[in-house]
Copies of this chain bind each other. A is one copy, B any other.
Amino acid sequence: MPPPIPPDPTLLAGGCSGPASLRPLLDTVLTALADGAAERCGPLPAGGPDAPEARFGGTILPAQGTGAHEALGALVHALARGAADPADPHCVAHLHCPPLAVAAAADLAASALNPSLDSWDQAPAASALEAQVTAELAALVHPSGPAPDALVTTGGTESNLLGVLLARERHSARLRVVCGANAHHSTARATWLLGLHPPVNVPTPHGVLDPALVRAAVEGLPPGAHALVVATAGTTDSGAIDPLPALADLVAEQRRHRPTSLHVDAAYGGPLLLSPRHRTLLAGVERAETVTLDLHKLGWQPIAAGLLTVPDRTALIPLAHRADYLNADDDTEAGLPDLLGRSLRTTRRADVLKIAVTLRALGRAGLAALLDDVLAAARRLARLVADEPRLTLHAEPAISTVLFRPAGADDARVAAIRRQLLDDGATVLGRAWALDGAGHRRLWLKATLLNPRVLESDLTALLKLVLERAEAPLPVPASGSAPQPAVRRAALRSTPSLLSPSLPDQRKPSDDRP
The 8 A CB mask of A344-375 against B (1 = contact, 0 = none) is 11111110011011111111111001100000
Known: A70-B360, A82-B124. 13 other contacts (CB 8 A): A9-B102, A12-B101, A29-B105, A32-B109, A44-B124, A78-B125, A79-B129, A82-B128, A83-B123, A85-B113, A94-B326, A121-B428, A303-B348
A62 and B121 contact, CB distance less than 8 A: no
Residues from chain B with Cβ under 8 Å of A55 in the complex:
125, 128
> Which of A191-199, A240-248, A280-288 forms contacts with chain B?
A191-199
> Which of A153-161, A213-221, A249-257 forms contacts with chain B?
A153-161
In this assembly, does A315 line the interface, its C-beta being within 8 Å of a C-beta of chain B? Answer: no
B37 and A30 contact, CB distance less than 8 A: no
In this assembly, does A45 line the interface, its C-beta being within 8 Å of a C-beta of chain B? Answer: yes
B79 and A113 contact, CB distance less than 8 A: yes
A79 and B120 contact, CB distance less than 8 A: no
In this assembly, does A86 line the interface, its C-beta being within 8 Å of a C-beta of chain B? Answer: yes
Closest-by-CB residue of B relative to A23 is B30
> Which of A46-54, A143-151, A223-231 forms contacts with chain B?
A46-54
B60 and A98 contact, CB distance less than 8 A: no
The CB with the most chain B CB atoms within 10 A, among A18, A67, A196, A330, is that of: A18
In this assembly, does A236 line the interface, its C-beta being within 8 Å of a C-beta of chain B? Answer: yes
Name the contact of A108 in the complex, choosing from B108, B126, B194 (C-beta under 8 A).
B108
In this assembly, does A163 line the interface, its C-beta being within 8 Å of a C-beta of chain B? Answer: no
CA distance A441 to B74 in the complex (A): 52
CA distance A364 to B111 in the complex (A): 23
Closest-by-CB residue of B relative to A106 is B72
Which residues of A (1-40) have their CB < 8 Å from a CB of B? 2, 5, 8-16, 18-23, 25-26, 28-34, 37-38
Closest-by-CB residue of B relative to A107 is B111
Residues from chain B with Cβ under 8 Å of A195 in the complex:
173, 194-196
CA distance A78 to B98 in the complex (A): 27
Closest-by-CB residue of B relative to A130 is B56
When A75-B357, A98-B12, A237-B325 are in contact, do A26 and B25 touch as well, CB less than 8 Å? Answer: no
**Chain A, interface residues (CB within 8 Å), range:** 35 or more
> Which of A203-211, A332-340, A383-391, A392-400 forms contacts with chain B?
A332-340
CA distance A94 to B61 in the complex (A): 27
CA distance A154 to B321 in the complex (A): 18
B186 and A360 contact, CB distance less than 8 A: no
Name the contact of A60 in the complex, choosing from B136, B300, B433 (C-beta under 8 A).
B136
B56 and A132 contact, CB distance less than 8 A: yes
A104 and B111 contact, CB distance less than 8 A: yes
Residues from chain B with Cβ under 8 Å of A237 in the complex:
325
User: Nearest Cβ distance between residue A103 and chain B, in whole angstroms?
Assistant: 7
Closest-by-CB residue of B relative to A194 is B195
A84 and B123 contact, CB distance less than 8 A: yes
When A104-B111, A154-B345, A325-B432 are in contact, do A99 and B10 touch as well, CB less than 8 Å? Answer: no
In this assembly, does A331 line the interface, its C-beta being within 8 Å of a C-beta of chain B? Answer: yes
When A49-B336, A370-B10, A431-B325 are in contact, do A15 and B186 touch as well, CB less than 8 Å? Answer: no
CA distance A321 to B188 in the complex (A): 10
In this assembly, does A59 line the interface, its C-beta being within 8 Å of a C-beta of chain B? Answer: yes
A81 and B114 contact, CB distance less than 8 A: no
When A13-B302, A65-B365 are in contact, do A296 and B347 touch as well, CB less than 8 Å? Answer: yes
B13 and A103 contact, CB distance less than 8 A: yes
Residues from chain B with Cβ under 8 Å of A362 in the complex:
5, 9-10, 65
Residues from chain B with Cβ under 8 Å of A62 in the complex:
360, 363-364
In this assembly, does A174 line the interface, its C-beta being within 8 Å of a C-beta of chain B? Answer: no
A16 and B34 contact, CB distance less than 8 A: yes
CA distance A271 to B112 in the complex (A): 21
When A112-B99, A136-B60 are in contact, do A105 and B25 touch as well, CB less than 8 Å? Answer: yes
B79 and A236 contact, CB distance less than 8 A: no
In this assembly, does A122 line the interface, its C-beta being within 8 Å of a C-beta of chain B? Answer: yes
Q: List 12 A-B contacts (CB under 8 A).
A: A8-B102, A10-B370, A13-B105, A49-B335, A56-B132, A79-B353, A94-B116, A96-B347, A98-B114, A108-B108, A154-B347, A185-B321
